[in-house]
A and B are shown apart, each in its own frame.
Chain A
Amino acid sequence: MELNKYQQEIFDLQRPVIEKFGKRTWGWTFFFLLWILVGGYALYLQIAEGHTVTGMRDNVVWGLYIANFIFFIGISYAGAVISGILHILKVEWRKPIIRIAEMITVISTIIGPIYILLCVGRLDRLHHLFLYPRLQSPITWDVFAIATYFTGSVIFLYLALIKDFAIYRDALLHIPKWKQKMYKVLAIGYRGTPSQKRHIKISTNLMAIMIVPLAIIVHSVLSWIFGMTLRPGWHSTIFGPYFVLAAIYSGTGVLIMAMWVYRKMYKLDSLLTDKHFVYLGYIMMALGAGYGYFTFSEYLTDWFSSERWNSEVIEKLFNPAKYGWWFLFANVAGIILPIFIVAFPKTRKPNWIALASFFMVIALWVKRYLIIVPTLETPLLPMQDTRMEYVKYSATWVEWALTFAGIASFFLFFTLFSKFIPIIPVSEFEDKENRNAPVGEPKMETKLVQA
């Protein structure tokens, strides 16, 4: 495959990333594997001894795991919606970031559902979901929605990758034989003929259009696991859109963080430019405002009408002795902080935006926890139980270990993927002459001319 000058530039930038598996990478890999190993041991305990090793009990039947599940499926929106919508709108500057976004989607869609499996008491009976499926159960909706969504996002990612695999197949790289073979197989004979190009283009467009509604369905269905019950704080009609918006929002945050890390690690400043951070910052700000609006609307109605059970949950969220501080943090760091950081030109810088994203993503995780636990701690009948662990949920080390194992596997997947597939898609720029640098990035042009 012929590369134009601009593509060659991007290719050369990423060459060492693909060719070398340096000491630092090994170090990180082992570090992540260690976490996963600890998580594996925790999982073994949970299977061998039963769910008694977790903090979950008859009142709070779900805990950290479900919060993690919502969280990971949420951040998967980075690729599905951000990259999908930007593709449909033909936004030029999306090109360097789509790969990262779609990788986030695929990886977190692998990890997310594992957490719902961790809530399942009988993993040996999972096939019952397919043997005896009942269509009226939101869990069945979830199984089908997530499976479809995962397949869709893998195809979406792969379609964009075929051309890159072809480039890497034909390039002279110092890589082991098996890796070359992999590129060859995965490129499925792509030679860049006009008909091949057309097919990929049409399929990618179709997938971009399909992935957006699919993603919306997935998170709506997920929110309905809660919305369909008769529980205070869950039984809300806006839960579908509220969850969807929160998901896109957190996905944007993770995308910004991933961009920041890659830019630092592999010195990709010329490709992941300040402009990208600012544009994504604007998107984040708009989503944050929308998310804030939903949050306000949800809690205002519950608080104002002050129905008995809703008030009990609200009281737990507002009371500093209970979840008050966490609720405050979730709203300050999750809504106000990102909006202000992007709003002021002084802080509208990559580092600041990445920092705001970091806090926002944590705040959104806390928010998910606050949706799950306080509601389950508020049953409609008085608990009148003397067993403290039944009255109040507190996660055990097993649950934390598996939580961190999930985060570690997210990073591990990313590390390994980035050693194999180009983080900045080389193929996306085949129509680009070097004089037409990406929109809004004059610096790039000068740099390339000098080169």
Chain B
Amino acid sequence: MDKLEEIQDSGRRGFLKTAAIATAITATCGSLACSCSSKKAAAPEKIKLLSPDGEIVEIDSTYLNHHETMAVLSQHEQRIGIPGKKFVMVVDLSRCKNARKCVTACQKHHYRPEETEWLTVKLMKDSDKAAPYWFPKQCFHCDNPPCVKVCPVDATFKRDDGLVLIDNERCIGCKFCMAACPYSTRVFNWDEPDMPFDIKSLAYNAETGVPAKVGTVEKCDFCPDRTREGLLPPCVEACPNGVFYFGDENEDTVTNGDETVSFSQLIKDRAAYRFMEDLGTKPRVYYLPPKDRQFPVERGYENLSDKLKDRFKDVMENNSK
């Protein structure tokens, strides 16, 4: 019910009515609430909405106000996590063609510039003779996180729902977590981050990682703000090939948006592995080996800009020899 404060109060009776509607908005059509937000038309427009009782009600659009998708959570709630959940991700390497839609969706969602990649796609080649494959990598949200162990001020923490998040209002920017993370997941704000003004003035929320602050560390957060609304992280939604399966280990289900499958069955059938298991970090991200690939690896290379091509040039050239 935190969102109540964002609803315009027009008298006591009106307030109660709007409250019920607001709940409906959150529960059923969050995106609609967003689209019909902020601008208040001169002539009041009637909008049909579903009430909690299952009735269709028609209300004046002026009753609606801009609705932030990020919930107002207390510091404590941000550190505890979503009760009963245990988030997990499965990445199907056989489907990735480096379309990079996940990367841009992530950057857009977190208002990050083009060079800052919380989620990156690497071109891996495990040994000389092995075939290269595209390897999307976000934070692994390890169950034995080396970054959390070394943080001197508890700015990065492990939540009950499995996520490793950062409180960038606590972070002193010592970068020890960056040195400790063996997967180079974390990025640092070396200078004042460039963000829209209205975003910059928001209160920081560890669940969104927004707004970024100079001199602090940030990283992929598995977008629990979206999960709270029953939505999938932007990278999962944006992927045209359904590479990412996101879900809850407790429920034993993961979904890539198109299909919902049993998590344990998926990792069993497809021989899933965790990246660098031998480090003992116990990642929460599983990879399905790039077997029976849907795309040749070149597909992810040819359409790239020259700048991006440069990144993978060495591996590609070695491969074609």
Contact = CB atoms under 8 A, between A and B. Distances in A.
B310 interface: yes
Given A50-B214, A121-B174, A230-B180, A143 B152 contact: yes
B46 to A, nearest CB: 50
Contacts of A180: none
Contacts of B153: 125, 128-129, 131-134
Given A51-B215, A137-B151, A380-B276, A59 B184 contact: yes
Interface string A29-62: 0000000000000000000011110001111011
A61 B180 contact: no
Interface string A124-165: 011011011110111110010000000000000000000000
A328 interface: no
A386 interface: yes
Contact of B179 (A120, A129, A137, A231): A231
A125 B281 CA distance: 29
Contacts of B180: 228-230
A137 B189 contact: no
Contacts of B279: 230
Contact of B178 (A50, A58, A139, A230): A58
A47 B174 CA distance: 14
A376 B182 CA distance: 10
A121 B178 CA distance: 13
A119 B175 contact: yes
Interface stretch (B65-73, B104-112, B165-173, B245-253): B165-173
Contact of A51 (B176, B183, B190): B190
B179 A121 contact: no
A384 B311 contact: yes
Contact of A137 (B123, B152, B214, B281): B152
Contact of A229 (B146, B151, B214, B217): B146
Contact of A50 (B123, B179, B191): B191
A121 B170 contact: no
A386 B307 contact: yes
Interface bin, chain B:
35 or more
A379 interface: yes
A224 B69 CA distance: 43
A380 B191 contact: no
Contacts of A59: 184
Contacts of B120: 384
A451 interface: no
Interface string A348-391: 00000000000000000000000000001001111111110000
B15 interface: no
B317 interface: no
A395 interface: no
Given A49-B191, A381-B184, A384-B311, A138 B150 contact: yes
Contacts of B308: 386
Contacts of A230: 146, 180, 182, 279, 281
Q: Is the interface of A mostly helix, strand, loop or mixed?
A: loop
A120 to B, nearest CB: 5
Interface string B252-281: 000000000000000000000000100101
A376 B175 CA distance: 12
B16 interface: no
B141 interface: no
A225 interface: yes
Contacts of B174: 116, 119-121, 139
Contacts of A198: none
Given A229-B179, A381-B122, A128 B151 contact: no
A387 B187 CA distance: 14
B190 A52 contact: yes
B192 interface: yes
B152 A121 contact: no
A181 interface: no
A116 B214 CA distance: 18
Contacts of A129: 152-153, 172
B312 interface: yes
A122 interface: yes
Interface in B283-321: 307-308, 310-312, 315
Interface in A204-263: 225, 228-231
B95 interface: no
Contacts of A133: 152-153
A50 B190 contact: yes
B172 A121 contact: yes
A125 to B, nearest CB: 5
Interface string A5-48: 00000000000000000000000000000000000000000000
Given A122-B172, A125-B172, A386-B307, A231 B182 contact: yes
Contacts of B216: 121-122
A189 B111 CA distance: 66
B284 to A, nearest CB: 17
Interface string B99-136: 00000000000000001000010111000000000000
A422 B268 CA distance: 76
A140 B115 CA distance: 33
A117 B174 CA distance: 8
Nearest to A389: B190
A113 B16 CA distance: 59
A136 B172 CA distance: 17
Nearest to A142: B152
B214 A385 contact: no
A133 B152 CA distance: 6
7 contacts: A58-B188, A121-B188, A128-B170, A139-B174, A228-B149, A379-B184, A386-B310
**4 smallest beta-carbon distances between A and B, as pairs:** A121-B173, A121-B215, A139-B152, A50-B191
Given A384-B123, A384-B312, A386-B308, 10 more contacts: A52-B191, A57-B190, A58-B178, A62-B175, A120-B172, A121-B175, A125-B172, A139-B174, A385-B311, A386-B307
